[in-house]
C-alpha cells in the first residue's frame, strides 16, 4: 500500500507543471519551516513522496529487498513501529541539528526550507533490523556492509540526510528485542513464513 501511494505521488510530480512540482515537494517536506507550521502533516506527508519520480523503480526494488522481508518476518504492526519510529526520530534529530547549525551561523537560514522528503529513513531502519533475520556468520558480514554503507557517507560528506540515515540504521538495530523469539527461515524451506 505504501509503495502504491508513493507511485501515485511520483506520478503527480512527474505530470505536474514546472513550479507546481516544487510547491508539492516543499509543502510535503519535513524541513524546519514545515515542521514548525504543520508538524503532523510534515512528518506523515514526507513519508509518501520521493523527490525524483525516475527513481521509483529503485525504491520498489529496495522495498522488496528490505521492507517486505522484515514485514513478513515481524508482522505489519511491528514493522510499522520500527519504520515510523525511525522516520520520525531521524527527521526530528537531523532537523534539530540543522536548526542548531543555523543558530550557530554554520549554514544559511535557507536550510530551513530545503526539501526533506522520502522513504529512505524507513528503509535504513528496515536494513538495521534485518540484521537479526540473518543466520550467523552471514549476519556479521551483512552488518559490516550496512554500517559501511550508511556511515561512510556520513563521515565523508557530513550531510543532514546522511545523519538521518545513520540514526535510522541505529534505531533499526536497537529494535532487536522485537526480533527475539522470531524463528529464522531454514535454508531450503522454500520461501517466507
Structure confidence at residue 11 (pLDDT): 83
Distance, in Å, from the CA atom of 155 to the CA atom of 165, rounded to the nearest integer, reads 12
Structure confidence at residue 98 (pLDDT): 95
- Please state the separation of Cα 47 from the chain's center in Å: 8
Residue matched to cell numbers 533475520: 133
pTM over 0.85: yes
Q: Which of 102, 5, 1 is nearest to 46 (CA)?
A: 5
Question: Using an 8 Å Cβ cutoff, are 90 and 168 in contact?
Answer: yes
Q: 155-169: per-residue pLDDT in tens?
A: 998 889 999 999 999
Amino acid at each position: 500500500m505504501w509503495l502504491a501511494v508513493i507511485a501515485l505521488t511520483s506520478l503527480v510530480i512527474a505530470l505536474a507543471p514546472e513550479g507546481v512540482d516544487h510547491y508539492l515537494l516543499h509543502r510535503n517536506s519535513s524541513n524546519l519551516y514545515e515542521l514548525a507550521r504543520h508538524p503532523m502533516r510534515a512528518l506523515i506527508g514526507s513519508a509518501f513522496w520521493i523527490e525524483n519520480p525516475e527513481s521509483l523503480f529503485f525504491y520498489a526494488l529496495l522495498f522488496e529487498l528490505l521492507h517486505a522481508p522484515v514485514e513478513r518476518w515481524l508482522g505489519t504492526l511491528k514493522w510499522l513501529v520500527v519504520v515510523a519510529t525511525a522516520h520520525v526520530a531521524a527527521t526530528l534529530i537531523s532537523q534539530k541539528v540543522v536548526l542548531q547549525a543555523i543558530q550557530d551561523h554554520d549554514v544559511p537560514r535557507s536550510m530551513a526550507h530545503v526539501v526533506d522528503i522520502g522513504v529512505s529513513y524507513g528503509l535504513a531502519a528496515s536494513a538495521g533490523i534485518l540484521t537479526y533475520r540473518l543466520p550467523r556468520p552471514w549476519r556479521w558480514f551483512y552488518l559490516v556492509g550496512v554500517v559501511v554503507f550508511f556511515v561512510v557517507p556520513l563521515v565523508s560528506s557530513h550531510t543532514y540526510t546522511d545523519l538521518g540515515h545513520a540514526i535510522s540504521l541505529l534505531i533499526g538495530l536497537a529494535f532487536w528485542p522485537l526480533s527475539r523469539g522470531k524463528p529464522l527461515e531454514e535454508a531450503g524451506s522454500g520461501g517466507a513464513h
